[in-house]
């Protein structure tokens, strides 16, 4: 398999000189672009916002978790690892703006990452590390994570695990050994090792200063991981449009000020 990162789709346009150029398509929730689709998406999120406070950046990911699972109670299962609960969102949005790679554990998660609102390369781990898996007997996803880590793929990347607990455990080992993703989004699902793998990731990320978004319990999955990652893209798009600021509040330093028009106060 080629080591070349797989990139997200971009729209090719033709300039007046006849040369093709790539322009970033505007972020659209769930890929909705038609009037009917946008109406459904907006109505759905309006109903979610009736159930989830919208006071912080972290609340945006809590709302997305409810949207992705259809369960209002899921907002209480999301965990944020960082100096404050907004830090993983800020780190993820900055990574999107810096066009850092988005690296998923499996194909299904990669398929759920929006191709709009960002220019980040998007690639999956699965498919790498086949020889390592065969030699050691470890799972293919764990071997894939370790193989990509050998190539320093995860350093500075948005690391996303939506399916495989062993991939989350392997990623935790990599972080413990010095790898530094920009942010981790991990929601592996299942009855075996899923909750434990997320707990270990939280502990390792906290100990090594890596921002992370995870959840507690057995639930999770690829759709949730993709949805949370897409919300990081959405936040980045809002920053680019001047609707959101990633600057931390000055109140901690004793400087009070009124938020600017359109700015989310953190």
* Residue boundaries of the structural domains of the chain: 79-241
Model confidence, pTM: 0.81
pLDDT, averaged across the chain: 85
Which one of 67, 76, 118, 234 is the catalytic residue? 67
Mean pLDDT of 45-69: 92
Distance CA 126, CA 118 (A): 23
Mean pLDDT of 76-104: 97
Three-class SS of residue 193? coil
Per the CB < 8 A criterion, the answer to whether 96 and 231 are in contact is: no
Count other Cβ atoms within 10 Å, centred on residue 42.
12
* pLDDT of res. 10: 36
* pLDDT of res. 26: 65
* pLDDT of res. 247: 83
Encode pLDDT of 200-217 as tens digits.
999 999 999 999 999 999
Helix axes 222-240, 57-69, angle to 10 degrees: 140
* pLDDT of res. 30: 55
Distance CA 93, CA 161 (A): 18
- The answer to whether residue 67 is catalytic is yes
- Fill in the DSSP letter of residue 252: G
Encode pLDDT of 97-142 as tens digits.
999 999 999 999 999 999 999 999 999 999 999 999 999 999 999 9
Q: Which fold has domain 79-241?
A: Rossmann fold (3.40.50)
Three-class SS of residue 185? strand
Helix axes 140-150, 165-176, angle to 10 degrees: 30
């Amino acid at each position: 398999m080629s080591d070349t990162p797989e990139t997200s789709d971009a729209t090719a346009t033709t300039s007046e000189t006849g040369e093709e150029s790539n322009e970033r398509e505007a972020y659209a929730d769930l890929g909705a672009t038609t009037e009917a689709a946008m109406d459904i998406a907006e109505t759905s999120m309006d109903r979610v916002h009736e159930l989830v406070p919208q006071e912080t950046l972290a609340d945006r990911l809590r709302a997305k978790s409810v949207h992705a699972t259809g369960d209002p109670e899921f907002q209480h299962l999301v965990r944020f690892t960082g100096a404050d609960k907004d830090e993983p969102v800020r780190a993820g949005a900055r990574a999107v703006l810096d066009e850092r790679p988005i690296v998923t554990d499996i194909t299904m998660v990669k398929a759920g990452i929006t191709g709009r609102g960002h220019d980040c390369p998007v690639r999956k781990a699965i498919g790498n590390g086949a020889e390592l898996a065969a030699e050691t007997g470890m799972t293919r996803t764990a071997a894939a994570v370790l193989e990509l880590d050998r190539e320093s793929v995860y350093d500075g990347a948005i690391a996303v695990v939506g399916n495989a607990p062993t991939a989350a455990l392997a990623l935790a080992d990599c972080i413990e050994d010095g790898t530094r993703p920009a942010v981790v989004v991990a929601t592996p699902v299942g009855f075996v090792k899923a909750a434990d793998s997320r707990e270990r990731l939280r502990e390792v990320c906290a100990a090594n200063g890596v921002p992370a978004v995870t959840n507690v319990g057995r639930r999770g999955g690829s759709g949730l991981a993709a949805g949370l990652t897409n919300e990081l893209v959405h936040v980045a798009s809002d920053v680019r449009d001047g609707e959101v600021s990633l600057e931390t509040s000055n109140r901690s330093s004793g400087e009070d000020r009124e938020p600017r028009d359109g700015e989310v106060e953190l």
